[in-house]
Structure 1
Amino acid sequence: MPSYKLYYFNGRGLGEVSRLIFTVAGEQFEDIRYEREHWPEHKAEMPLGQMPVLEVDGVKLPQSAAIARFLAKRFNLAGKDDLEQAQVDAVVDTMYDLLKAFLPVFREQDEAKKEQMTKKFFGDDLPKHLQNLETLAKLYGKGGPFFVGNHLTWADLFFHPFLETLLGVNEKVLDNNPWLKQNRAEVEKNPKIAEYLKNRPKTEF
């Protein structure tokens, strides 16, 4: 039986999608969480000096998307055939576009500048990215509540925690996107996910 260790900070961030994949699959893994002040002690242990990192039977794999895609394929959450897998990847890549737009806002230290950037992001940038996601869902979701093929994939599991962070900043971000709001609700209906969300560590992001 394979041995899995997931190394990440004590937060959701880019590691949460992989935790959710393990959860849905019912697979055991060691959830190794580092507090930020302790991270410098372990940085040299990681292939690229960054996290998340997945260790599989002693082999360390970096890069969040590569980790999640590997796990999704292994546990049948990547799409049922090559075309579905490509559609899932297209949705995920669109989510990464959204993430790239948000990260400068998240990392800005100057409070006045951060407030200005936040207003622009939530007013102009975010609605466009959310509309792009809904467009793909209409193309690939077959009329169901999931992004691709009317069944749960890692695209749904990636969207859920990322939007949780944005909802923590502005709880109304999905008010104009009822399909996306329903998608998150459907993910939470999964009994394993519901149990995990209830018991996981409480973190800011």
Structure 2
Amino acid sequence: VLEYNGTKLPQSLSIARFLAKQFQLAGKDNFEQAKVDAVVDTISDAIAKYVSARWPSDETKKEELMKKFFADELPKHLQNLEVLCKFYGNGGPFFVGNHLTWADLLFYDLGETFLETNENCLNSYPWLKQNVQEVAKQPKIAEYLKNRPKTDL
């Protein structure tokens, strides 16, 4: 929950979208913002599938679901993201335009999680792999990553 001017705002994506607008990471105009939202929605679809595979209480079921996720589900979502980057990325390393948006940050976070679980999951998606690397090279992000404490998901 984020409190802003005395009012509480729930929901992680609503908070992220609000903060992205506050810090000029939402897109430069309304149409860019819609493109960013399309990328974020595609990433959110992948997150939803990952969450349902990652947290069953039965370890055998979890292992089976995670294998299925990385073999069947994730490739579909990553292919969709590669298509969107070609439509919206103007040939650069970011999802929309030639600048960092919160879609890139969200994918970085998700990519990092996926890579911890399956280090080869982005190998067939060179643009997405480059996006993760490019986000990590941003000066303030690189500084944060260098100093952040290690936590479990």
Q: TM-score range by the shorter chain?
A: over 0.9
Contact 2:90 2:97 in 1 (8 A): yes
Q: Which residue of 1 aligns with 2:90?
A: 142
User: How many aligned residue pairs are there?
Assistant: 153
Aligned letter for 2:40?
V
Q: Which residue of 2 aligns with 1:84?
A: 32
The 2-side partners of 1:197 and 1:60 are apart by: 29
Q: Which residue of 2 aligns with 1:75?
A: 23
Partner SS, residue 173 of structure 1:
coil
Q: Which residue of 2 aligns with 1:202?
A: 150
Identity of matched residues, %: 65
> Once the 2 structures are TM-superposed, how far is the Cα of residue 112 of structure 1 from its aligned partner?
1.0
Match of 1:124 among 72, 91, 110: 72
Q: Which residue of 1 aligns with 2:123?
A: 175
Q: Which residue of 1 aligns with 2:49?
A: 101
Aligned letter for 1:83?
F
Superimposed CA distance per residue, residues 35-54 of structure 1 (whole angstroms, 9 cap, x where no aligned partner): xxxxxxxxxxxxxxxxxx11
Aligned letter for 1:54?
L
Q: Which residue of 2 aligns with 1:184?
A: 132
The 1-side partners of 2:94 and 2:111 are apart by: 15
Aligned letter for 1:198?
K
Partner SS, residue 40 of structure 2:
helix
Structure 1 stretches of 4+ with a deviation exceeding 4 A read none
Aligned letter for 1:202?
K
> Once the 2 structures are TM-superposed, how far is the Cα of residue 201 of structure 1 from its aligned partner?
2.0
Partner SS, residue 152 of structure 2:
coil
Structure 1, gaps ≥5 residues long: 1-52
Q: TM-score, normalised by structure 1?
A: 0.73
Tell me which of the two structures has the higher relative contact order, counting C-alpha pairs closer than 8 angstroms and 6 or more residues apart.
1
> Once the 2 structures are TM-superposed, how far is the Cα of residue 133 of structure 1 from its aligned partner?
0.4
Superimposed CA distance per residue, residues 96-137 of structure 1 (whole angstroms, 9 cap, x where no aligned partner): 100111111111111111111111110011001000001000
The 1-side partners of 2:67 and 2:5 are apart by: 45
In angstroms, what is the RMSD of aligned CA positions? 0.9
Aligned letter for 2:33?
Q
Which has the larger helix fraction?
2
> Once the 2 structures are TM-superposed, how far is the Cα of residue 58 of structure 1 from its aligned partner?
3.0
